[in-house]
Amino acid sequence: MGRSERKIKKYEIILCILVLAVIAAGLLLPKTGELVLLDECCSISVIWIVCIYVIVRVIHNWKRGEKSTKTAGVVIAAVCAAVCLWFTKDLAADLVSGTKTVTLKDIEVSENQAHTGIFSHHYYLLGTDPQGERIRVEISADDYTLMRLAGNKSAVLVYYEHTGRAVSVR
């Protein structure tokens, strides 16, 4: 059987290193505070990098492909672009609108462990705003511990509405 020997390109190595660096930065950034949108940006950057890689590979295959390959490539590129835009919409909306400050009552804090393993603990604050709407935002482990121990029934929250990320909780 003939096995194709495709060499790994330099840009592929650079993209892998870039993805790992962005993931590491996302793990080190705080989950609450002024840099919270930078953490969100790290998550979205991984999606963008992967989609750009897929599009570059598709374009590379267009040069020597048949018409059906080119059509499939256009569809794949369009899907990748749509995925990138979908994941970016909330971050863009928060960058445009800025933070929102609200006083929450009947607050609760919770801890969830996602499916990804050791770095997957997520902490949430849930409360009711003055209009009766339930708001759930992600908070840091320190804020979770503080809120749980304090046992407050209300809190002043500064947060980004679309991404659901807290800047500060008092």
How many CB atoms sit inside 10 A of residue 142's CB?
12
Spans of the chain, pLDDT less than 50? 1
Return the percent helix, strand and coil in the chain, to nearest 5.
50, 25, 25
Task: Show the CA angle centred on residue 53, arms to residues 47 and 57, nearest 5°.
Answer: 145
Q: Enter the tokens of residue 112.
A: 């969830």
Q: Enter the tokens of residue 148.
A: 């749980």
Half-sphere exposure of 108 (CA within 13 A, CB side): 7
Distance separating alpha carbons of residues 5 and 16, to the nearest angstrom:
20
Distance separating alpha carbons of residues 98 and 18, to the nearest angstrom:
28
Q: What pLDDT is recorded for position 154?
A: 92
Q: What pLDDT is recorded for position 25?
A: 93
Of 45, 49, 152, 167, which Cα lies nearest the Cα of 104? 152
Of 120, 115, 104, which Cα lies nearest the Cα of 166? 104
126 Rama sector, left if φ>0, alpha if ψ -120 to 50, beta otherwise: beta
Q: What pLDDT is recorded for position 1?
A: 46
pTM as predicted: 0.83
Max Cα separation, the chain?
A: 70
Q: What pLDDT is recorded for position 59?
A: 84
Q: What pLDDT is recorded for position 119?
A: 59
Q: What pLDDT is recorded for position 99?
A: 97
Distance separating alpha carbons of residues 24 and 39, to the nearest angstrom:
10
